[in-house]
Amino acid sequence: MSSPIRVVVTGAAGQIAYSLLYQIAKGDVFGADQPVILHLLDIPPMMEVLGGVVMEIIDLALPLVTEIVPTADPTVAFKDVEAAFLVGAMPRQQGMERKDLLSANVKIFKVQGEALDKYAKKTVKVLVVGNPANTNALVCSRYAPSIPRENFTAMTRLDQNRGRAQIAERLKVNVGQVKNVIIWGNHSATQVPDANSATVDLGSGPVPVTGALKNDEWLKGEFITTVQKRGAAVIAARKMSSAVSAAKAAGDHMHDIWHGTAPGQFVSMGVLSDGSYGAPKDVVFSFPVTIENKEWKIVQGLQVADYHKPLLEATGKELLEEKAEAIEVCEH
Ligand SMILES: NC(=O)c1ccc[n+]([C@@H]2O[C@H](COP(=O)([O-])OP(=O)(O)OC[C@H]3O[C@@H](n4cnc5c(N)ncnc54)[C@H](O)[C@@H]3O)[C@@H](O)[C@H]2O)c1
Ligand SMILES: O=C(O)CC[C@H](O)C(=O)O
């Protein structure tokens, strides 16, 4: 058994954390032989609820959990952590605009960036889930200058999983057979789900999804809009934001940072843009990446279809607008 690592989950009394904590506690994320000390951060009014979550983690009776630290104090929550799931933020409710969410949430990520900077390990890997996830990740990294900016990533894995599931359903295959679906840009309705580099294994090795589907119209239209609008569709149906699927995606994302991507496969995540594929620089833009030794690398040389190009431009523009607005909120 390795020595325990400290892992913080913020928003620990909320919906997503409720599912995520079980995955972390049972070894799905950091490995079946990696003990964890769980740091659980929420705000003071949620401490009683958080106490209930702690009771349930104890009752799971899972041997990998060596200690639980529930707190409302960021200085305690971020102390010596090696992995951070930044989930705590307000979810969009029906009728709320994205803009309302940005001004409410972005300041949380400024404060937490400052706390990570002071108290976390410099090698900490930070996954931002709370929306607007890409811009929150950018803000968090700007306020944590002593931690490499590459250590901050934003979650578009839920969108990738949604895309894979849509294709599997369409092809009537198991979702495990579908790989390398890309999400470009922002985790918002402007994101660009792209299956042109995706593969499906129909029994004799991976072949292009485009060839197996033989339905370009669907890939250019309904596939994109279904994935773009899936989060809103879940909110409309559940009257609450997606939770178990978001938690699973957060676990998948951190798992791949920790253990790397499989040969021949890539995953999508929001990372600091270097301008690849014409994306604006210095925003957190979702790209296909491979991961080795806990470091991501943007996959280069993929074909971007002409019909995707204006969509990539639009999602990049939205990220620049969000960045400008976030800077305005944080500096005033
Ligand atoms: N990136 C994605 O794919 C994705 C998917 C689903 C949801 N989300 C986002 O994740 C966030 C959380 O969603 P949820 O359904 O768990 O919400 P929730 O309301 O159930 O839980 C959020 C929790 O965060 C806590 N919180 C608020 N401010 C905090 C702070 N400053 N420090 C610590 N904790 C704080 C709240 O008290 C609450 O317990 C939302 O912003 C939602 O939009 C992102
Ligand atoms: O607020 C939204 O529209 C989306 C909520 C969440 O990020 C999701 O993708 O399910």
The answer to the question of whether 230 is labelled as a binding residue is no
- pLDDT tens string 20-39: 999 999 999 999 999 999 99
CB contact burial 47-58 (16+ within 10 A = b; e otherwise): eeebeebbeebe
The answer to the question of whether 283 is labelled as a binding residue is no
Report the chain's mean pLDDT, rounded to a whole number.
Answer: 96
Residue 187 designated active-site? yes
The answer to the question of whether 130 is labelled as a binding residue is yes
Does the Cβ of 242 fall within 6 Å of ligand 2?
Answer: yes
> Hey, which of 75, 153, 241 would you mutate to test ligand 1's pocket, going by the most ligand atoms within 8 Å of its Cβ?
241
Q: What is the pLDDT of residue 300?
A: 98
- pLDDT tens string 138-181: 999 999 999 999 999 999 999 999 999 999 999 999 999 999 99
Whether the ipTM is more than 0.85: the answer is: yes
Domains 5-154 and 157-321 share a fold: no
44-48, 101-105, 108-112, 202-206: least confident range: 101-105
Could you give the CA distance from residue 104 to residue 93 in angstroms, rounded to a whole number? 13
When pLDDT is averaged across residues 57-79 and rounded to a whole number, the result is 98
Report domain extents, the chain: 5-154, 157-321
CATH for 157-321, options being 3.40.50.300, 3.30.559.10, 1.10.3720.10, 3.90.110.10 = 3.90.110.10
> Can you name the CATH fold of 5-154?
Rossmann fold (3.40.50)
Q: Work out which ligand 2 atom sits closest to the CA atom of 242.
A: 10
Which residues, 6 or more positions from 161, have their beta carbon under 8 angstroms from its beta carbon?
Answer: 245, 248, 249, 252
Q: What is the pLDDT of residue 4?
A: 98
When pLDDT is averaged across residues 80-107 and rounded to a whole number, the result is 88
CB 36 within 8 A of CB 109: no
Could you give the CA distance from residue 101 to residue 322 in angstroms, rounded to a whole number? 11
CA distances from 41 to 49, 110, 125 (A): 12, 16, 17
Per-residue tokens: 20: 């995520």
For residue 192, the cross-strand partners are 184
Could you give the CA distance from residue 89 to residue 154 in angstroms, rounded to a whole number? 14
Ligand nearest to the backbone CA of 154: 1
Residue in the block written with tokens 């939770």: 243
Q: What is the pLDDT of residue 94?
A: 75
More confident residue, 92 or 89: 89
How many C-beta neighbours within 10 Å does residue 98 have? 14
CB 64 within 8 A of CB 27: yes
Q: How confident is the model at residue 104 (pLDDT cuts 50, 70, 90)?
A: confident
Q: Work out which ligand 1 atom sits closest to the CA atom of 12.
A: 39
Ligand nearest to the backbone CA of 88: 1
How many C-beta neighbours within 10 Å does residue 11 have? 25
- pLDDT tens string 238-293: 999 999 999 999 999 999 999 999 999 999 999 999 999 999 999 999 999 999 99
Report helix, strand and coil shares of the chain as percent, to nearest 5.
45, 20, 35
Per-residue tokens: 14: 């909320």
Q: What is the pLDDT of residue 90?
A: 85
